[in-house]
Structure 1
Amino acid sequence: MRPVETGVAGLTPGAAQAGSPAAVADLDDDAPLYEARKDIFPAAVKGKFRTIKWAILIVTLGVYYFLPFVRWDRGPNAPDQAVLLDLPNRRFYFFMIEIWPQELYYITGLLVLAALGLFLMNAVAGRLWCGYLCPQTVWTDLFYAVERLIEGDRREQIRKSQGPWDLERIAQKVLKHSIWLLVAWWTGGAWVLYFADAPTLVRELVTFQAPMVAYVWIGILTFTTYSLAGFMREQVCLYMCPWPRIQAALTDEHALNVTYRYDRGEPRLSAKKAEAARLRGEPAGDCVDCHQCVNVCPTGVDIRDGLQLGCIQCGLCIDACDNVMVKIGRPTGLIGYDTDVNVQRRIAREEPEYHLVRPRTVLYAGLIAAIGGFMAYTLATRTTIGVSALHDRNPVFVKLADGSIRNAFTVRLTNKSLDARPYRLEILGIADAHLEIIGEPGRAEQSAVLEVLPDQTRELRALVTTPKGDAVESRNLRFRLTDIVSGATAYADDFFKGPGSAP
C-alpha cells in the first residue's frame, strides 16, 4: 500500500485548505487512505554505483555464506572454527579473540560502535546503510538478478505480467522461485553454522541427525528471506523498517543525499524541443523526462520530487541519468550526491560548498575512535586469569578455642588459557594470617598452589585465620592470584572481620 498523493486524504488538492467550506463539502468518505500496491519492475542499469553495489553484494554474501568454514588453529582443547558462537560452553570465538560471558561488555561496545557508525554514515551521506549494506537491500538485489536472468529485464517482465499464463511463463516462474528458495534455504543454513562446527553440522543436516532446533531455525530464516526479498521488497523499506523515520531526525542540511539538481534540470523538455529552445534563447532544462531514473529505482520513487521516505539512496538513478546525459550530449551529474543548500546556492549564482568535516561528524568519528581504541586496548592487555572472592555472611567470623579468629570466603579462580595451569593464591594485608583451602592438604602460611583445568573456572572454600584475639578489627584483605607459568596476576579485594569490627 502507498499513501494517496493528495493534499489531505479524500480531498482534492485545491480543496485541501483547513477549515474551508470546500474542504468539508468535498470530503469523500469512500476515498481510500492508501492506494493498492503496484508491482515494481526495476530495470537493469550499468554505471559506477551499480558496480559498487555488485562489489558489496559479492563481498558481504561471500563472507556470510563461507565464513563458517574458515578454520583458525587455537591449539588443543579449543574449537578450530574461526567464528563460532558456542552456546553450550558459553563462548564466542572470533579468530584470535575469545569472549566469555562475563565479558559481555565487548558485545555492548560493538553495538554502540555500530550505532555510531550508522549515525556517521547518515551525517556524511544520508542513507548509505540502506542503499548499500542493509541485508534487505543486498538480498533483494540478488533476487532481482535471478529474476532478470530468468524472466528478462523490465519491459519483458511487464509484458509477461500482462499476458496469459502459457507454458513458458509457468516454467520461468517455477525456475525463479526454486532458485529463490534455494538461496533462502542456504541463507538460513549458513546462519545456524555459526553456532556449531560447520562441517560437522552440514554432515548432520544432510543425514538428518542434526538437532531439531537447527531445522526449525533454517525453516524460519528460509521463509523470512524468501518472503522479504522475493515479495515484500520495497514494502519493508516503506513500512516495516524504522530507520528511515529515525534518520530524518538525525540528518542536517549539509548531509549529502541523492539529489535531483532542479536548478539545471527544469524546465523539462524532450531532447529535440530542448535543443530548439536553446537555439531560440529560451530556457530549457537538461531533464528530458525519460523516466529512466524512476524505472531503475527499486522502490519506484521519482527522485525529481525531492527526498522521500522510499528513497534508499542507492545511486542507481544517478547511473541511469548519467547514461542518458551521455547519449544526448549533455553533462553528467544532473542527479548526484549533493545538498539542497548547494542547489539554492547555484540558483543564486554562488559556488557550492561541502562541509563533510563539521561538529556532528567530528563528534561521531571521535566517539568511534575513543570507544574502539579503548576496546582494543582492553583486549590487548587483558589476562587469561581471574579471581573473585565472596565473604561468608553468616557467620561473619568465627572465634576458635585458642582465641584465633577465622573468616570464610568463597573464591572462584578462572583459567581462560587452553592449558591446565598451576596458580598461586596468596593473601595480602594481614601479615600473620594463615590460609587454608578446604579439600587441599595442609595449612599454608599465606599462600597455596592450586591447579585449574583449561578454559575452566574452579570454585573453592578458603579459610583465613589470624591469631589475634578480641582486638581484631575489620581490615582490608586482598587475594592475589599468580600464574606460575606466565607470571600474570589478578586481584580480588575484601575485608577480614573480627569482634572489634563495626556492626
Structure 2
Amino acid sequence: MTQASQPPSLYAAREPIFPRRVSGKFRNLKWIIMAVTLGIYYLTPWIRWDRGPSLPDQAVLLDMANRRFYFFWIEIWPHEFYFVAGLLIMAGLGLFLFTSALGRVWCGYTCPQTVWTDLFILVERWIEGDRNARLRLHRQKKWDLRKVRLRVTKWVVWLLIGLATGGAWVFYFADAPTLARDLVTGQAAPIAYTTMGVLTLTTFVFGGFMREQICIYACPWPRIQAAMMDEDTLVVGYRDWRGEPRKHSAEVKLGAEQGDCIDCMACVNVCPMGIDIREGQQLECITCALCIDACDDIMDKTGKPRGLIDYMALSDEPREKSGQPPRPIWQHVLRPRTILYTALWSLVGIGLVFALFIRADIEMTVAPVRNPTFVTLSDGSIRNTYDVRMRNKNGEEREFFLSLTGVDDLVVELEGQEGQTVDVPADTTSLQRVYVIAPRGTEPAVQESSPFRLWVEDSKTGERAYRDTTFNGKES
C-alpha cells in the first residue's frame, strides 16, 4: 500500500496552546473564583471545630478508621450514607441546571481541571512571559542556558503546586497538623505518601501538559451537555450578522460594506482551548468567556459597540438580525426546563435538611439469637437472648436504660451489668447482650410467640428509641 492510499490517522498530535493575557469582567470573575476555590481546598483541613474531648476537632474530616464523616457540626455515620447520596444527586441536578441556563459554565469557571490549568498558565506567564515570548521559547530548537533555566524553574513550581495539591487531599482523611508532622518526619503511613505522589504527578501532567486534552478527550461532559441545552440556553457566540464580512478578509473588495470584525485574532489568541469562536459552537468550547473580554477590548479601541462576541441564545438570532433587541436574560433562564431542575434540586435539598433535623442522637438495633431460639432455665423459666447495639451520637458518655413494653410478665437482664443501665462512650456503638425472661407458667412462657417492644432511654435527656421484636416461648 502506498503512502498516498493509507487511511488518515485518527489521532492528531497536540499543538501546544499559549493563551494571551486578557483583562475584563469575565477574566476578573475567573480570578476571584480561582482564588476562592483554591483557598477552600487548601485551607479547609486546617479549620478547627470543637466537638468535645473525645472527638476530633477538625472541621471537615473523612475518618476512614472510625467510619465517620465530620462536616463542622454535622456527623455522618456509615448507615447514613443517604446524606452523601443526596448531596451527589443535588450536585448532578445543579450541574444540569447551570448547563441548561448558561451552557458549560461549570467547565469554564469551577471545574478543577480549569482552575488548576489557569493557575499553571499564570505561573508559566510569570516565568516565561506572555504569549509571544512563550511562543518564541517553544519554537527555539536550541536548549541554551536561558531556556533550560526557564523551563526547569517552571516545572519546579508546577511540581510544588502538585505536591501541595496532593498534600491537601490527604489532610482531609486525618488530623492535618499531626499528619503534616508525620509526613515531614517520615512517620506517615505508606498510603499517604502514595496518594500524594499520584496526585502530584497527575496535577503536574494534567495542568501543565495535557490541559485542553483532558477536556476534549478524557471528560465525557462535552458529549453529554447537548441533552441539557436547547435554543434558549445562553452560550458564548459570535454575531456573524454584525461582524461579517471581516475588514481584513481578502474577499472584501475595496469600498464594499464591511462588518465590525477586523479579523485581529484576539479571540483566538486568548482562548485556552485554541478554538475560533467565530466558526460557531464547538465541542471544545468551555464557555470561559475570555474571548468576550478580548473582543470587547478591540471594539472599544475601534469605536464599535461591545457585544460582537457575547453570551447569547440561538432563539434570539432572528430578532437581532432584524434589528430588534434580544429578549431579557430572565426569559432565557426561567423556562420549564430550568424550573424543573430547580424544583427537583430544592426538593432533594429540603428532604436532606428535614432528615438531618429529625434524626435522633441515640439509635438501636435488636438481633435475636436464634441458636437456640429459647433456653429453659432450672426453675422452668423461658429465656430469650438478644444482641442489642446502642448508638450514642453525642460528644460525651451517656447512660442508657433498657426496658420493654407490650408484655407484662417479661423481665429484662443485662449480661455483665447490674440493673438495666449501660454506659455507652461518646460517639460510639456499644454491643450489649440482653436476656428477656418469662417466669414459668406465664402467658409468654407457654405461647409460641409474643411480640413486644424493647426501649432504650438516655438517662440524661430522656430521649428514647425502640425496636419491635418477639419473644419465643415453649408451646404448651
TM range (shorter): over 0.9
Q: Secondary structure at the match of 1:35?
A: coil
Alpha carbons 1:184, 1:226 under 8 Å: kept? yes
Query: 2:122 aligned with 1:129, yes or no?
Result: no
Q: CA RMSD in A?
A: 2.2
Q: Secondary structure at the match of 1:477?
A: strand
Deviations along 1:229-265, whole A, 9 cap, x unmatched? Answer: 0000010001001111111222222111111122222
Alignment counterpart, residue 138 of structure 2, candidates 161, 165, 169: 161
Deviations along 1:274-297, whole A, 9 cap, x unmatched? Answer: 9985xxxx5422111111111111
Query: 2:272 aligned with 1:298, yes or no?
Result: yes
Q: Secondary structure at the match of 1:355?
A: helix
User: By how many angstroms is 1:400 displaced?
Assistant: 4.8
Alpha carbons 2:249, 2:263 under 8 Å: kept? no
Query: 2:146 aligned with 1:171, yes or no?
Result: no
Q: What TM-score comes out, normalization by structure 2 length?
A: 0.93
User: By how many angstroms is 1:496 displaced?
Assistant: 2.4
Alpha carbons 1:385, 1:414 under 8 Å: kept? yes
Map 1:256-267 to 2 at 5 A.
Answer: 256-267=234-245
Q: Distance in 2 between matches of 1:461 and 1:259?
A: 69
Q: Distance in 2 between matches of 1:86 and 1:397?
A: 40
**Quick check: 320-329 or 162-171, which moved more?**
162-171
For 1:55, the equivalent position in structure 2 comes to 32
Query: 2:64 aligned with 1:69, yes or no?
Result: no
One-letter code aligned to 1:106: F
**Quick check: 393-402 or 432-441, which moved more?**
393-402
User: By how many angstroms is 1:396 displaced?
Assistant: 2.6
Pair 469,64 (structure 1): closer, same or farther in 2 beyond 3 Å: closer
Q: Secondary structure at the match of 1:311?
A: coil
Alignment counterpart, residue 223 of structure 1, candidates 201, 225, 250: 201
Q: Distance in 2 between matches of 1:209 and 1:397?
A: 52
For 2:434, the equivalent position in structure 1 comes to 462
Deviations along 1:379-411, whole A, 9 cap, x unmatched? Answer: 223222111101222333345565544322111
User: By how many angstroms is 1:119 displaced?
Assistant: 0.8
For 1:384, the equivalent position in structure 2 comes to 361
Map 1:361-380 to 2 at 5 A.
Answer: 361-380=338-357
Q: What TM-score comes out, normalization by structure 1 length?
A: 0.88
For 1:284, the equivalent position in structure 2 comes to 258
Q: Distance in 2 between matches of 1:61 and 1:470?
A: 66
Alpha carbons 1:187, 1:222 under 8 Å: kept? yes
Q: Secondary structure at the match of 1:34?
A: coil
Q: Distance in 2 between matches of 1:245 and 1:462?
A: 58
Q: Secondary structure at the match of 2:333?
A: coil
Q: Secondary structure at the match of 2:443?
A: coil
Q: Distance in 2 between matches of 1:469 and 1:459?
A: 26
Q: Distance in 2 between matches of 1:370 and 1:451?
A: 39
One-letter code aligned to 1:305: E
Query: 2:459 aligned with 1:487, yes or no?
Result: no
Alignment counterpart, residue 342 of structure 1, candidates 296, 316, 339: 316
Q: Secondary structure at the match of 1:326?
A: helix
One-letter code aligned to 1:116: L
Alpha carbons 2:23, 2:293 under 8 Å: kept? yes
Q: Distance in 2 between matches of 1:87 and 1:475?
A: 41
One-letter code aligned to 2:433: R
For 1:315, the equivalent position in structure 2 comes to 289
Q: Distance in 1 between matches of 2:445 and 2:78?
A: 43
**Quick check: 225-234 or 59-68, which moved more?**
59-68
User: By how many angstroms is 1:355 displaced?
Assistant: 2.3
Alpha carbons 2:444, 2:450 under 8 Å: kept? no
**Quick check: 260-269 or 27-36, which moved more?**
27-36
Q: Distance in 2 between matches of 1:275 and 1:369?
A: 57
User: By how many angstroms is 1:64 displaced?
Assistant: 0.8
Alpha carbons 1:43, 1:153 under 8 Å: kept? yes
Alignment counterpart, residue 386 of structure 2, candidates 403, 409, 426: 409
Pair 440,30 (structure 1): closer, same or farther in 2 beyond 3 Å: closer
Percent of paired sites with the same residue: 51
One-letter code aligned to 1:339: A
Query: 2:174 aligned with 1:199, yes or no?
Result: no
Alpha carbons 2:444, 2:471 under 8 Å: kept? no
For 1:10, the equivalent position in structure 2 comes to none
Paired residues, number: 466
Alpha carbons 1:262, 1:343 under 8 Å: kept? no
**Quick check: 249-258 or 317-326, which moved more?**
249-258
Q: Secondary structure at the match of 1:388?
A: strand
Q: Secondary structure at the match of 2:413?
A: strand
Alpha carbons 2:52, 2:396 under 8 Å: kept? no
Pair 475,202 (structure 1): closer, same or farther in 2 beyond 3 Å: same
Alpha carbons 1:274, 1:285 under 8 Å: kept? no
Deviations along 1:30-74, whole A, 9 cap, x unmatched? Answer: 433333221111111000000000001101111111111111111
One-letter code aligned to 1:371: V
Query: 2:192 aligned with 1:248, yes or no?
Result: no
**Quick check: 74-83 or 234-243, which moved more?**
74-83
For 2:372, the equivalent position in structure 1 comes to 395
Pair 406,156 (structure 1): closer, same or farther in 2 beyond 3 Å: same
User: By how many angstroms is 1:412 displaced?
Assistant: 0.7
One-letter code aligned to 1:126: G
Q: Distance in 1 between matches of 2:6 and 2:391?
A: 70
User: By how many angstroms is 1:192 displaced?
Assistant: 0.9
Alpha carbons 1:49, 1:319 under 8 Å: kept? yes
Query: 2:414 aligned with 1:437, yes or no?
Result: yes
Q: Distance in 1 between matches of 2:39 and 2:385?
A: 55
Q: Secondary structure at the match of 1:117?
A: helix
Unaligned runs of 5+ in 1: 1-26, 443-447
User: By how many angstroms is 1:432 displaced?
Assistant: 2.0
User: By how many angstroms is 1:470 displaced?
Assistant: 6.5
